Amino acid sequence: VTGSETGLGLAGVDCDAGVGLAWVDQVVAERAAAGLRRSTPARVGSEGCIDLAGNDYLALSRHPSVVEAARSATTLWGAGATGSRLVTGTTAEHELLESALAAFTGAPAATVFSSGYLANLGAITALAPADTLIISDAQNHASIVDACRLARGRVVVVDHLDVGAVERVLRERVETRALVVTESVFSVDGEAADLVALQRLCLAHDAALMVDEAHAIGVAGPGGVGLAAAHSLAAAPNVVLTLTLSKSLGAQGGAVLGSAAVRQHLVNTARPFIFDTGLAPASAAAARRALEILVAEPNLADQVRDRARRIAGVARASGWAASEPSGAVVSLRCDAADPKSSADLAVAAAEFLRTNGFRVAVFRPPSVPDGVSRLRLAANSSLSDETIDHLGLVLSTVKEAARG
Ligand SMILES: Cc1ncc(COP(=O)(O)O)c(C=O)c1O
């Protein structure tokens, strides 16, 4: 294509598509050669696969009354929020959801964002300005990593679940403020952080504790209240929680929970809150209905954890190194000689599982900082014993094939 053909007044200029972005072609090729190419497979309903890849842990995304709540809110408020929360983007649905989230977790106040990613970005950038020490677990989610990069505070990444390292860094702090950031149930291996020990340290060192409950809300703690609430930490004045509405609550969006002052601070300073169109009213209504279902059926969370433990059990019996689930997530390590072989093994195993009726997720570098790819299986409350036992048989076939 030449400039004159585009009509952009660049006659005579060679608009070769590679110029300026040729390096992207090279990076794409390198990624493919390393076995790390990601794709966006369309979700199809009629594939006949049991879905262990999604995060719809309580199967609420298609619950008739959750869907109906979204539909009614759309009819009442329209398809989108129409503006920032500070302008036209706050509806009664947002306020009702914020009250419901605070009541459910026991936190004093909630602020809803348009995604969990933005909730983390908003919370950390607002709560860790210059002269703040941020201590972040090495396996924290990418949204936390990105938030730490954007925040003005000094970031120290500590080894995964290493409470001793958190203490050492806190003891040597030179900043006025400190913020310790962790997930409560980790997204890759599904194991729990020691929130009680972290909070003890935070209190001793005048630090704040931020806990991402994305994989805990709805599935961990009594009735799915999350791990902070389970340990009576949700209302502590130095504790802030973040969560997503897009996993067990079956909707979309995120929230930050904390004191009324924290809420005021976020509304006034959190850029992903101020400069982003508010959460769609339909998502707010759907999430609130999902919370009502959780309150009415507190055993849902126990059921999911029971399913996850059974999956871990059949996987171990099939020779896999399975994580110990604290919520819905079970992860299976694909140990191999090097990261590329591990990634290839994970992709091949996931494909075998798919052709045998189970869709699972694959975590490869950089999602797994230790270079060991994982199969990530998310339990949901509708899985029967028979289905999980069949999964065990398929997993043992994969394992034997890998050995052979
Ligand atoms: C631990 C954790 N935090 C935050 C997020 C982001 O949530 P959302 O998908 O609502 O943006 C995720 C989702 O992948 C997550 O796993």
- Which amino acid, one-letter code, is at 381? S
Is 120 close to ligand 1, i.e. is its CB under 6 Å away? Answer: yes
Confidence of residue 306 (pLDDT cuts 50, 70, 90): very high
Q: Which atom of ligand 1 is nearest to the CA of 141?
A: 1
pLDDT value at residue 15: 60
Dihedral pair phi/psi, residue 131, rounded to 5°: 70, 30
Measured CA to CA, the distance from residue 116 to residue 100 in angstroms comes to: 17
User: Each residue of 205-254: pLDDT tens digit?
Assistant: 999 999 999 999 999 999 999 999 999 999 999 999 999 999 999 999 99
pLDDT of residue 245: 98
Nearest CA to ligand 1 atom 8: 116
Give the range among 73-87, 271-285, 353-367 with minimum mean pLDDT.
Answer: 353-367
pLDDT in tens, 282-300: 999 999 999 999 999 999 9
Q: Distance (Å, rounded) from C-alpha 246 to C-alpha 231? A: 24
Q: Is 187 in the pocket of ligand 1 (CB under 6 A)?
A: yes
CA 279 to centroid of ligand 1, rounded, Å: 15
For the chain, how are helix, strand and coil distributed in percent, rounded to 5? 45, 15, 40
Residue 1 has pLDDT above 50, yes or no: no
Reply yes or no on whether the pLDDT at 3 is more than 50. Answer: no
Residue 9: pLDDT above 70? no
What is the spatial distance between Cα 56 and Cα 152, in angstroms, rounded to a whole number?
A: 35
- What confidence tier does 350 reach under pLDDT thresholds 50, 70, 90? very high
What confidence tier does 38 reach under pLDDT thresholds 50, 70, 90? confident
Ligand 1 pocket: which of 139, 181, 187 to mutate (most atoms within 8 A of CB):
187
pLDDT class of 49 with cuts at 50, 70, 90: confident
Q: How far is CA 347 from CA 142, 307, 341, 394, in A?
A: 22, 24, 10, 15
C-alpha 270 – ligand 1 centre gap (Å): 18
pLDDT for the residue 19: 78
What are the beta bridge partners of residue 212? 183, 242
Q: Is 116 in the pocket of ligand 1 (CB under 6 A)?
A: yes
d(CA 343, CA 363): 8
Q: Is the CB of 246 under 6 A from ligand 1?
A: yes
**What is the mean pLDDT of the segment spanning 312-333?**
94
pLDDT tens digits, 134-192: 999 999 999 999 999 999 999 999 999 999 999 999 999 999 999 999 999 998 888 99
Collapsing DSSP to helix, strand or coil, 34 comes out as coil
Enumerate residues 6+ apart whose C-beta is below 8 A from 391: 50, 52, 311, 314, 358, 377
Cβ of 381 less than 6 Å from ligand 1: no
Q: Which of 246, 252, 283, 326 to mutate to test the pocket of ligand 1 (most atoms within 8 A of CB)?
A: 246
CA 307 – ligand 1 centroid, Å? 22
- Per-residue pLDDT, 103: 98
State whether the beta carbon of 214 lies less than 6 angstroms from ligand 1. Answer: yes
CA-to-CA separations, 114 to 166, 276, 329, in angstroms, rounded: 31, 8, 24
pLDDT of the residue at 369: 75
As a whole number of angstroms, the distance between CA 266 and CA 120 comes to 11
Q: Is 183 in the pocket of ligand 1 (CB under 6 A)?
A: yes
Q: What is the pLDDT of residue 366?
A: 81
Residues 6+ apart with CB under 8 A from 35: 340, 343, 344, 347, 364
Looking only at the bridges linking them, the beta strands covering 10-14 and 109-113 are unpaired
Average pLDDT, the chain: 93
Secondary structure (3-state) at 94: helix
The predicted model gives 79-93 an average pLDDT of: 97
Instruction: Centre a 10 Å sphere on the Cβ of residue 194 and count the other Cβ atoms it contains.
Output: 15
CB atoms within 10 A of CB 28: 11
Give whole-number Cα distances, 240 to 123, 193, 256, 282, in Å.
8, 15, 7, 26
How far apart, in Å, do the first and last CA atoms of the chain sit? 52
Residue 247 burial by Cβ neighbours in a 10 Å radius (0-12, 13-18, 19+): buried
Q: Is pLDDT above 80 for 108? A: yes
* Averaged pLDDT, 192-203: 98
User: What's the pLDDT score for residue 254?
Assistant: 98
- Asked if residue 271 lies in contact with residue 118, where contact means CB atoms within 8 angstroms, the answer is no
Output the six-digit token pair for 182: 């962790």
Rounded to two decimals, the pTM is: 0.92
For ligand 1, is residue 153 a contact (CB within 6 Å)?
no
Question: Could you give the angle at which helices 142-150 and 116-127 cross, rounded to 10 degrees?
Answer: 30
Q: Which atom of ligand 1 is nearest to the CA of 244?
A: 10
* Cβ of residue 244 lying under 6 Å from some atom of ligand 1: yes
The string of DSSP letters for 185-230 reads B-TTT-PBP-HHHHHHHHHHTT-EEEEE-TTTTTTSSGGG--HHHH
